[in-house]
Structure 1
Amino acid sequence: MDRISALRNVEDALRDFESGESDLAATEQRVVTVLRTYATDFEGADGLAPYQATGEGRAHGLVVVAANETDARQKVHDLLEEERGTLDFDVGRL
């Protein structure tokens, strides 16, 4: 899914919410689904790709866009404002 398709799908979800055809929970689910689909299909310039952190604690489940696993690990630490080595997690490409 490209960016334009993702935005259109989010707009459709918001339109349905505004018209009363969808409730907030259903709208949230649709938007999350669009975002997850966009992230897993994402192929950025310069070799960027989505990586997901797995493990225990705050890092588990985070998805970041990075050039490689090392950069992905650093981005997770930066997002959580943690020093390297303070969190136990792995990263894998989606």
Structure 2
Amino acid sequence: MDRISALRNVEDALADFEEGDAALGDVEDRVLGVLRTYATEFEDESAAAFRATGDPAVEGVVVAAPNAEAAHERVAERFEGAVPEFDVERAD
């Protein structure tokens, strides 16, 4: 899924919410699905999607990085102060 398709899908989900055709939870699920699909379909072989696992504070965080070490660093950068313990795995 390219960026334009992802944005259109998010826009469609928001429009359905605004029109009362979708509940907030449904819209959240759709948007999360779009984001995860977009993140895992990189054409650039030098980047891949990695998902953080472990501590509840990092569960569900997905980052794009060239390798697991860089992905771990990118997730850790999201925290100020103490960084919870976590691992990363490819989100293929």
Normalising by structure 1, we get a TM-score of 0.77
2:83 matches 1:91: no
Where does the alignment leave 5 or more consecutive residues of structure 1 unmatched?
A: none
Quote the offset at 1:57 in angstroms.
4.3
Normalising by structure 2, we get a TM-score of 0.79
| Structure number having the greater helix percentage | 1
Alignment root-mean-square deviation, CA: 2.1
Quote the sequence identity (%).
49
Where does the alignment leave 5 or more consecutive residues of structure 2 unmatched?
A: none
Q: Which residue of 2 aligns with 1:29?
A: 29
When Rg is computed on C-alpha atoms for both structures, the one with the higher figure is 1
Q: How does 1:36-47 map to 2 (within 5 A)?
A: 36-41=36-41, 43=42, 45=44, 47=46
Quote the offset at 1:61 in angstroms.
2.9
Helix, strand or coil at the partner of 2:59: coil
